[in-house]
Structure 1
Amino acid sequence: MNQSPELKAILNAIPADFADPAADYQSVRKTFEGFHGHPTGSDLQITFPTYGGVRCGEYELRGGLNYPIAFHCHGGAFVSTPLDAYHFYAEIIAWQTGCRVVMPDYRLAPEHPWPAAPDDCFQSYLGLLKSGIPPSAIVLFGESCGGSLALALLTKLRDKNLPMPACFISLTGWFDLSVAGRSVEARDPFLTAQWVRNRGLDYTGGALPLDDPAVSPAYADLSGLPPLYLQIGQYDTVREGALTLGAAALQDGVDVLMESWPGMVHGWHGLVNAGVPEAAAAWKAIRHYVESACDV
C-alpha cells in the first residue's frame, strides 16, 4: 500500500533528530511543545473533575451523543505533555468516536517514576466507576506510552477482581520498552528504538528491567482481560511489542483483533486533523469497533 501524498508531506517535514537517541527528557519536553498543545474548537466543552484523587480532563461535544465513555491514557513518552497540553487529542477521540472522553492527568517521569503514572490511571478509573459510570459503558484507550499504562490498569483490575471496561483500543501503543525483535525504525520518523529505551529508563528509574511485565505488558499474563483491538502500523518502531502482545493475548484466551495497516508509522492516528486519509480510515474502523462493543 502506498502512503498518501498528505502523509508523505508530513513525514518529510519531521526533523531528522525528532527522536534523537541522545536526547534527555528535558530535550524531549522541548521538542514535544511544538507538536502538542494545539487549540480546541468551541464545540468542545472541557471540565476538570477529580476522580479517585486525580485531576482529570473531561471532554464533551456540545449537542453530541457523548456515549460511551472513552477513558484515555495519553501519550508523551512518560516524561512529557501534561494534560493541559493534550486537550487536542481528547478532542480527536470525541469527534472521531462520538464518545465522552475522560483523561487522567497522571504524574510524569523522571520526577515521578514508575509506578506513579499507572497508579494515577488506576485510581482515576476507580473514581470514574464510583461516580456512577458502569464499566460496560467505558472503552479504554491507550496511545503511544499510554498503551502500556492502559494494560497495567487492566492487569491490576483483573488481579484485584475489579470491574473491567468493555474493551481496550490501542493507538500505536508501547508494549515492550526493551524494543526487542526485528527493527523497523528506519521507516519511522517519530521514534527510534534507543530513544524509546531511554524514555523507559526515565520511567522506571532503574527499579526494574525494561522487559519486566510490570512495565512491558507484552510479557505479562493477559488471561482474563477484556477484548483488545490493536491497530498496528507496518513501520511503527514499537510494532514488534504490539505483535508480541497480540500473540500472547490469543494464547491466553483473550478476544483480540489485530489489524495490519501497511505503510503506517507511529502515531498516525493523530494526523487525522491534518487531512491524512489513512488516519481518517483508522478512526472510522475504531468507531465501528466502539459501537459494536458498547451496543451504540
Structure 2
Amino acid sequence: MAGELIAAARSSISAGQRIDITASRPTGLVGAEVFAAQLHARLTDDLSFAVVTGFPVDGSNPRETEMAYWLLGLLLGRPVSQSRKGDLLGRVEDRGADVSSPVQRGYESSAELPFHVDRTDVIGLLCFRPAKSGGLSKLASSKVIHDLLLEEHPELLAELYQPFPNDRRGEEQPGEPPWSGIPVFSRTGGHFAARYVRRFITGSQRHETPPRLTVRQLAAMDALDDILNRPGVALDMELRTGDIQLINNFHILHARTAFTDSVGKGRLLLRLWLAFVSSPALPDHFAPLYGATAAGSYRGGVWPTGVVPNDLGRCIVDLG
C-alpha cells in the first residue's frame, strides 16, 4: 500500500498536480483502495478511530510525503478547508498562537488543548516529526462519556441535549451571526453525534446576543469534564514519525498535552479534515456551522471570507 501511494505521489507531482480542492478521487490504486476500505470500517465501528504505523515520511522530500498522504485522504473522503487561509493540508505546529485569545487557533500553539472536537466529520493526523517532549494525544469516546453521564447525572445529561451557544471566533461568513447554538449531544434519524468545545461555549459570552450560560449548563459541562479527566477514561498515545491517527469526530473527543520542541526541529503533524460518506445526520442546529446536515453530505470546514463551496450539501458519493 505505502509503495503504491508513494509511486502515485511521484507521478502526480511530475504531472504538475497539486493539493487542490478540485482534486478527484484517485483510481487504479488497488492496494490503497482496499486499505482505505479497512480504515473506513474502523472509523464506523464501535472504536471509531484507527492508527496507521510506518507511513513513509521522507524529510528530504516532504512534497512526496504530503502528496501520498493527500491521496490516501481522497480515498477516504472529501477534504474541506481548515482555516481562513484555505489550507487543505494543515500544519499542526507551534507558531506562537495564544490559546487564551478568542481569535487564535490552538493547533498553532504548543499549549495543552482540553478535550474537544473539530468542525469536520473525520480528522487525520500524520506525525511528520514528534516533539522533544510532551504532545501526548488523548482520545475519549463521546458515547462512553454520554452513558456515564446518563448513569451518574441524568438530569444534567438532559441539559446537554439542548443548544449551547458556541463562539464562531470571527470565522463566520459576512452577514452571519458571531455565534451559533448547538447541543453537545444529539440523536437524529438514529444517528448519534457529539459537539463539545468548552472554550468556544464560554467564549460566546463575549458577544451581546447569545443567551447567558445558566447554572445548570455550567454544572453539566463540569460533570462532563470531570468524567473526561478521570483516570482510565481516555486513551493516551504518543504519535511517532510515520504514525497516522484517524478519528470519527462525532464519536471521539480528542485532547493534547503541552509540548516543548528542539530548536529548528519542532513538532509537526500534517492534518486532514474530511467530509465522510458515512457521516451521521445532524440536527438543524448544526446548519450554520457545517453548511449541511444530511448524512454523507459534503459539509464542515472553516473557509476563507466570501468562499462557500458550490458542492456544499451534495452527497459525497456524487462528488466522486
* TM-score, normalised by the number of residues in structure 2: 0.28
Q: Which has the larger radius of gyration?
A: 2
Structure with more helix by fraction: 1
Structure with more strand by fraction: 2
* TM-score, normalised by the number of residues in structure 1: 0.29
Q: Specify which structure has the bigger relative contact order, considering alpha-carbon pairs within 8 angstroms and separated by 6 or more residues.
A: 2
